[in-house]
């Protein structure tokens, strides 16, 4: 890897608490078996005020679509497996397509979240209109006892690239 660029298991990051101002992940969390632990780890290693910028497939009009039940040690397929291509590792199992409930979960961890919608596309490179989640850590999730979310809290933005 390049200096200061790391590939790690998002469920078990090896960094100290509050190490980073910025964490970037692209189309990764749908492939993380325990995404809740993964996002918790990102929260743990981010400094308060730090950002996690990420992309994931997401339905903005319905809850998360769970393809694989991971509540036990054994994966239980609830739907036919969906794989996403990767030039390095081949096909990678997608455990879910996130939904609108992702916002509540991120808020419960201590993140303020907004989404930036882009109108940029480059078919040659396989880039189509997309969206980027921008979360800011406002507190460490262990300090939260009960999560309540006002629906107006979610911000959706559009950029005309």
For 40-64, what is each residue's pLDDT tens digit? 999 999 999 999 999 999 999 999 9
Tell me how far apart the alpha carbons of residues 114 and 42 are, in angstroms, rounded to a whole number.
17
Whether 156 has a pLDDT exceeding 50, the answer reads no
Calculate the CA 29 to chain-centre distance. 5
What is the tens place of the pLDDT at every residue in 15-30? Answer: 999 999 999 998 899 9
Q: Which stretch of DSSP H or E encloses residue 106?
A: helix 101-109
- How many other CB atoms are found less than 10 A from the CB of residue 30? 22
Tell me how far apart the alpha carbons of residues 44 and 15 are, in angstroms, rounded to a whole number.
9
DSSP state of 31: G
Looking at every residue in the chain, the average pLDDT score rounds to 84
Rg of the chain over Cα atoms, rounded to whole angstroms, equals 16
pLDDT band of residue 97 (cuts 50, 70, 90) is: very high
HSE-up (13 A, CA, CB side) for residue 139: 9
Q: Is 75 helix (H, G, I), strand (E, B) or coil?
A: coil
Tell me how far apart the alpha carbons of residues 74 and 65 are, in angstroms, rounded to a whole number.
19
More confident: 136 or 3: 136
Pair 48, 138: CB distance under 8 Å: yes
Pair 28, 104: CB distance under 8 Å: no
Pair 26, 55: CB distance under 8 Å: yes
Q: Tokens 């291509």 identify what position? A: 85
**What is the pTM for the complete model shown?**
0.81
Average pLDDT over residues 89-110: 94
């Amino acid at each position: 890897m390049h200096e200061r660029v790391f590939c790690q298991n998002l469920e078990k990051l090896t960094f100290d608490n509050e190490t980073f101002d910025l964490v970037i992940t692209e189309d990764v969390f749908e492939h993380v078996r325990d995404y809740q632990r993964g996002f918790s780890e990102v929260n743990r290693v981010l400094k308060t005020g730090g950002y996690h910028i990420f992309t994931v497939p997401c339905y903005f009009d319905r809850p998360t679509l769970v393809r694989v039940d991971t509540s036990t040690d054994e994966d239980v397929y609830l739907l036919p497996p969906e794989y996403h291509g990767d030039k390095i590792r081949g096909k990678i199992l997608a455990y879910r397509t996130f939904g609108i409930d992702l916002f509540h979960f991120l808020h419960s961890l201590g993140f303020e979240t907004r989404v930036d919608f882009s109108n940029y596309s480059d078919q040659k490179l396989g880039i189509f209109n997309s969206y980027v989640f921008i979360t800011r850590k406002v507190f460490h999730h262990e300090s939260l006892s009960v999560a309540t979310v006002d629906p107006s809290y979610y911000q959706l933005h559009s950029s005309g690239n």
